[in-house]
Amino acid sequence: MKKAIGDNMIPKKWSFEQGLELVKKAGYDGIELWLGDVPWFQMDTSDAAVSELRRKVENSGLVVSNVSTGLHWEKPLSARDPRVRAEAIRIVEREIETAQLLGCDAVLVVAGLVTAEVPYNEVYLRCVDAMHQLAPVATKARVKIGCENCNSEQRFLLSPREFGTFLDEVNSPFVGLHLDVGNIHDTGFAEQWIEMHGPRITRVHLKDPMKKRGRSGEPVYTNLFLGDNNWAAIRAALGKVAYDGWLVAEMEWRYRFAADQQFYDTAAAIDRLISGRL
Amino acid sequence: MRISRRGFVGSATGAVGGWLLSEAGRWAGLGSQAKLEGRPALLDLGAQCVLRESFEGYRVALGGQDACPPKFVSGSRPGHGAVIVPGAGVMDRGTCSALLDLLAAGSKVVFESGGGFLRREEFAVHRRMLSDVFGLMVDSPVDLWSREEAVPYVTYSWPRATMVRDFSRVVPVVAPGSEVVGRVGELAVASRKPVGRGHLIFIGSPMGPALRARDPECRQWLELLLSASPRVLRDWYETASVH
C-alpha cells in the first residue's frame, strides 16, 4: 500500500511547492489534489496549468494519488434544479479530465445529499442517473469514479449493503467506492465495509472518529489511533481483500501549532498501519 | 422512435391498462375507479420541458408508455381522454393551439408548470402564455424552502384529499374562475377550470419527481385524476362552489 495526503492540508499561507516539499520530507508517496479547495487547482485552472502541477509533483519525487473535490456539497448531483445538476456533472467531468492530465486513475465524488428539502428516494434516483451518465466518460478515460461514503453528512447510502445495491444499479466497473474509514461513525464498522466491497474500493481515506462526540458541536474527528476505529480490524480487513492501493490521510481537525508536525505524525501512523504493528 | 397515431393510442391504452392492473393489488378498493374512460397521452415537449425528470416520472407512472411529440397532438383527432403536459416551460404557438383545440373538443389537459425552474425573463413569457392561451393568472415562483419551518407537502383536495411532497419552488395560481384544488399553506398551487367542452387542470408544484420516486399517494392521485371523465369534471364543477 502507498500513502498520500491531501493538498488541502497544506497550511494556508504556504505555496504549493512548499507543501510538496513537506509532503515528500514527511515520507509520503503521493498527494491528493482537491479541485476547488486550493488556489492552485480550481474549475477554471487551464489544462496547461494542471499539467504544470503534475510537473511540480513529479519533480518533488511524488505522484498524484487521486483527484478529489468538496464542490458537490454546494452543487450536489442530487439537486432538484436541473441547472445545478448540470454544473455538478461538469465538476465530475473536470475531475476526470484533470485526473488524466495528472496521470492518476481515480476521482472522489460526493454522490448525493439528502436534506429536509430533498428526500432520499429522489436523491437515490438522481445519483443513479448521474452515474449512468458519467460511467461512459470514466470508462473512456480509464479513470474510476469513487463515490465516497459520507454517512452522517450526506445521510445517504448509510449501510454497506445499501451502498452495494447502489453500485449494482450503476453497474459499471469504473464506478466504485471511495471508502472513508472515518466517516462511518456509529452507523457501523469500517472493517465490514472493506470486507463487503473489496475490489470495488477505489481509494481509502484515513481519519479517526470519536463516536460519542459531534452532537454538541465538538469535533468528531481526530488523529489516527486516537479515536474509536478498530485499526487492527481495519488492517486485517484490508489484508483479507488484498487491498494494495492508496491510503490517503484526510485529517479534518488540524494542529493548532506546528502545522507541519501533523504531516510527520500522520505519515508515521500510516506506516504503522501498513506494517500491521498495532 | 417514430410511431403511428393508431400505434401510439393502442400502446398508450395498453400501457396504462397494464399499469392499473399491476397496481390494483397495491391499492385495494380502487379497482372499480381504475377504469379509464379516456386515452391519456403524455406530451413530450422536448426542449420546452424544463424538468425532464418530471416527464420521466409521468412516463414511469403510466407504465413506461411512449410519449407523443407536440406534432402528434396537433394532428390528433380531438376528444381523447387526457393529455398530460409535464414540466412545461415556454411552449410554441402550435402546441398551445393544439392544446386549446383538444380542450375545445372535450379533452382533459393536465398542465404541469415548470415555471419555478425558469429564468426570470423566461418566466415572464411563461406567465403571459398561461394568461393569453388558457386565461390562467399566476404569480412569480415561490421558494418554499427559504421560509422558516417549511412543511414539505402540497395538500390536494381533489380528486381526493392527498398530500404530495413539494418540489421546492411553486408557481401560485391566482386566476378567478378557477377552483383551487391544491395548496401549500395559504398559497394556491393547483387549480381546475372548464375550457371549451374540456377541462384544464393546472399544477404549479411539479409532481413527476414524486411519481418517479414511487410516492404511492401521488400515483393514486394521478390515477383518479385520469379516471375522471371531462363530463364528470364539468358537472362537478358546475355544482361546486368556485373560489
What CATH number does residue A86 fall under? 3.20.20.150
Grouping H, G, I as helix, E, B as strand and the rest as coil, residue A99 is helix
Query: A81 CB near a chain B CB, below 8 Å?
Result: yes
Residue A123 lies in a domain: yes
Residue A110 lies in a domain: yes
Residues sharing a CB contact under 8 Å with residue B30, sequence separation 6 or more, in sequence order:
B24, B220, B223, B224
- Whole-angstrom distance, CA of residue A172 vs CA of residue B124: 43
Give me the domain span that covers residue A19.
2-272
Q: What does the domain layout of chain B look like in residue ranges?
A: 5-239
At B240 the pLDDT is 41
Residue of B nearest to A122 (CA): B213
> Given a cut of 70, is residue B231 above it in pLDDT?
no
> Given a cut of 80, is residue A212 above it in pLDDT?
no
Residues sharing a CB contact under 8 Å with residue A72, sequence separation 6 or more, in sequence order:
A88, A91, A109, A110, A111, A113
pLDDT 10s digits, A129-162: 999 999 999 999 999 999 999 987 889 999 999 9
Residue A278 lies in a domain: no
- Whole-angstrom distance, CA of residue B152 vs CA of residue B144: 8
pLDDT 10s digits, B129-160: 999 999 999 999 999 998 777 788 999 999 99
Pick the closest to residue A278 from A208, A198, A183 (CA basis).
A208
Residue A277 lies in a domain: no
- Indicate left, alpha or beta for A235 from its phi (over 0: left) and psi (-120 to 50: alpha): alpha
Tell me the chain B residues in contact with residue A83 when contact means C-beta distances shorter than 8 Å: 117
Residue of B nearest to A120 (CA): B213
- Whole-angstrom distance, CA of residue A79 vs CA of residue A140: 26
Residue A56 lies in a domain: yes
Pick the closest to residue B190 from B134, B119, B113 (CA basis).
B113
Q: Do B165 and A125 touch (CB under 8 A)?
A: no
Domain tally, chain A: 1
Q: Which three cell numbers stand for residue A137?
A: 466518460
- Whole-angstrom distance, CA of residue B63 vs CA of residue B139: 34
Residue A115 lies in a domain: yes
Over residues A30-39, mean pLDDT: 97
Mean pLDDT of chain B: 78
Q: Do B52 and A82 touch (CB under 8 A)?
A: yes
Residue A75 lies in a domain: yes
At A258 the pLDDT is 92
Residue A9 lies in a domain: yes
- Whole-angstrom distance, CA of residue A21 vs CA of residue A132: 39
Q: Do B212 and A81 touch (CB under 8 A)?
A: no
- Whole-angstrom distance, CA of residue B97 vs CA of residue B102: 9
Q: Do B213 and A82 touch (CB under 8 A)?
A: no
Grouping H, G, I as helix, E, B as strand and the rest as coil, residue A70 is coil
Query: B152 CB near a chain A CB, below 8 Å?
Result: yes
Pick the closest to residue B237 from B171, B33, B229, B219 (CA basis).
B229
Residues sharing a CB contact under 8 Å with residue A259, sequence separation 6 or more, in sequence order:
A11
Q: Do A82 and B50 touch (CB under 8 A)?
A: yes
CATH of domain B5-239: 3.40.50.880
At A185 the pLDDT is 84
Peptide bond before residue B159 is cis, with ω within 30 degrees of 0: yes
